[in-house]
A and B are shown apart, each in its own frame.
Chain A
Amino acid sequence: MTPKQRIRAAIDHQEPDKLPIDFGSSGITGIHCSVVEKLRDHYKLEKRPVKICEPYQMLGEVEGDLLDAMRIDAQAIFSHGTIFGFPNENWKPWTAPWGQELLVAERFNTTTDNAGNIYIYPEGDTDAPASGRMPKTSYFFDSIERIDPDFDEDELKLEDNLEEFGPMSQEEEAHWTEQAEKWRGCERAITAPLSGTCLGDIALVPAPFLKKPKGVRGVADWYMLSADEPEFLASIFDRQVEIALENMAKVAKIAGDVIDVVVVCGTDFGTQTSLFCGVPQMRDIWLPRYKQINEWIHQNTNWRTFKHSCGAIEPLVETFIDCGFDILNPVQCSADGMAPEGLKAKYGDRITFWGGGVNTQQTLPFGTPEEVRKEVLSRCEIFAPGGGFVFNSIHNVQARTPVENVIAMIDAVHEFNGDK
């Protein structure tokens, strides 16, 4: 089997010849740039600065030579614009606060305050108020909430929260065309993000890509909407889906044959111990809209759809299946009610688990390589039978994760595959 066939078989619940692996095919299955560099060193690859493919979480691009070395089955197409609203193009050097020499996009423009905190700007425009901040001792950015002084919670305007959604630009179309040409015929499965199908992702609410966001842009304010004004939320999503379907049709036309998996939505519905939203509300507001997206995709393309949600979301898995999602990520087994055996037994034949391979809150950062190996082998034994599993850690491999543990993880999957 080619890596592409392997992943497609797994998603379609046929047991592939080997358990497929993903690292780096999306902004939620990636590796922090500091760890990418150490992996490149470990595999004795050409010494060159790591490229930042996702500047918010500072994920490093897992380039072809590293994909080969780690025997990874998935390949990313990234979106044209980054979360800070500038395109990932025209690379320039940048030194991270932890001393690493990196390559970043031309408009990755930063300033540093007296305390050593780093600021980044929407569209790279340093004349606009900063939209992201990396604390001196941190390893990634987070959004700065820029609340519109005229914002009035009693006078919500739909269009204020729709500013970021619109028809695909010519640059984006050109990007898809270029990416389709580049990856057509690739042996690996291609994962691509869709735009505008993320319904209420809290990381996108503060709109770090906009210079002057209006409407509901605070994290707490947004969550309160779902308690206070569910109809308003539903109307935002309706309009979003309408626009997204048109854009999707364009992507399908340009790159439909190239793409295997589309990342539909990264909205987190779970906390460590509970949910952000109960099942009835999920079924009321999210389900019909997700269904519309998934049905369109399944009717018009051969893509498989990918839903990300962190946390203790076991009560929602049945609903995600009803929404028509093919794939669930990151399968946070460390959260309440998310034990792997139960998930596999209850839902394993109806949805594919893409993730869940190792605990990134305990074992991977703090365990020994042998503990990592044992956990990985156990997860593979539970999740792999009958297909429906693509190996990935639970969410991105974080900064400060010992590289020996990452290698122990990869080696354990190869060991499981009989490839050591």
Chain B
Amino acid sequence: MNESLNQLTTAIKAGKRKDARAATAAALEAGLPPQSVLDALTEGMNDVGVRFKANTIFVPEVLVAARAMQKSMDLLEPVLIASGIEPEFSIVIGTVEGDLHDIGKNLVMMMLKGANFKVIDLGVNVSAEAFANAVAEHKPDLVALSALLTTTMPAMESIVCDLSRIEPPIKIIVGGAPITPDFADQIGADGYSADAASAVELAQKLCANAQ
């Protein structure tokens, strides 16, 4: 494997944003295929997800890794687009109405980006209507809802209920501290996961099944 690609993976694992940018620039200048740069980046984020899930690194380390990924993406994205490489799947994500917790939602979003999903982030305090509009506009493969409060779990339920009436049907995944697999089932969501790395696996599985 090329030296700069190794450096990119290492920089992302360690959350070194300047190194990540420099390695990406070097790789692109050397004319390496953009897909290989993307793969190096994904490999780095994947490793971060695994260590986060295993509790050997914590939120701050994931955030710096994601920021390094973003610095790399800033250079890589235009090249990917120019060579017609587009993410296979897209996902609309947001924290439900009434809730402003977004650290967990953002981690899920970053890991999805790292796994080469196109992510449309609606931010926090997102209403059913805003989710429905985003689905109509972006035609995503999945919708992801986050809630951290018992007071906003009812909002999650009613958003899932509203979105389940959309035609053609759209798959919905949910998560956040108070959410349990039972609750996810009960409100009719298509999937639940307890952490960001598993959210990626879940999203990949649901998208692949749909094909």
Interface residues, chain A, with chain B CB atoms under 8 Å away:
117, 133, 135-139, 142, 219-220, 223-228, 271-278, 360-362, 365-366, 398-400
A/B interface sample: 11 pairs, CB < 8 A: A135-B100, A138-B151, A142-B100, A219-B102, A220-B103, A223-B59, A223-B103, A224-B60, A276-B59, A361-B177, A362-B178
Task: Give the bracket for the number of chain B residues in contact with chain A.
Answer: 20 to 34
Given contacts A135-B98, A228-B15, A273-B195, contact A365 B150 (CB under 8 A): yes
Evaluate contact between A137 and B98: CB separation under 8 angstroms: yes
Indicate whether B63 reaches chain A with its CB closer than 8 angstroms.
Answer: yes
B39 at interface, CB cutoff 8 A: no
In the complex, A277→B15 CA distance in Å?
Answer: 16
Q: Give A326 to B143 CA distance when docked, in angstroms.
A: 46
Tell whether, in the assembled complex, residue B103 and residue A227 are in contact, meaning their CB atoms are under 8 Å apart: no
Q: Which residues of B from 33 to 72 have beta carbons under 8 Å from A? A: 52, 55, 57-61, 63-64, 67
Number of contacts between A and B (CB, 8 Å)? 75
A277 touches B60 (CB 8 A): yes
- Name the residue on B nearest A222 (C-beta): B60
**What separation, in Å, do the CA atoms of A275 and B55 have in the docked complex?**
8
**Does the CB pair B58–A137 fall under 8 Å?**
no
Q: A137-B155, A271-B177, A276-B58 given as contacts; is B150 within 8 A of A361 (CB)? A: yes
Q: Are B125 and A135 interface neighbours, CB within 8 A? A: yes
Shortest beta-carbon distance from A230 to chain B in Å: 10
5 closest Cβ pairs, A-B complex: A227-B60, A272-B177, A142-B100, A137-B98, A138-B98
Chain A residues with Cβ below 8 Å from B141 are none
How far is B105's CA from A219's CA once the two chains are assembled, in angstroms? Answer: 13
A residues less than 8 Å from B98 (CB atoms): 135-139
User: Chain A residues near B152 (CB, 8 Å)?
Assistant: 138
List residues of chain A with CB within 8 A of the CB of B151.
Answer: 138-139, 398-400
Shortest CB-to-CB span from B11 to chain A, Å, is 13
Is B79 at the interface (CB under 8 A from chain A)? no
Q: How far is the CB of B74 from chain A (nearest CB, A)?
A: 15
A360 contacts across to B, CB distance below 8 A = 150
Nearest chain A residue, comparing its CB with the CB of B14: A227
- B residues 136-187 near A (Cβ < 8 Å) are 149-152, 155, 177-178
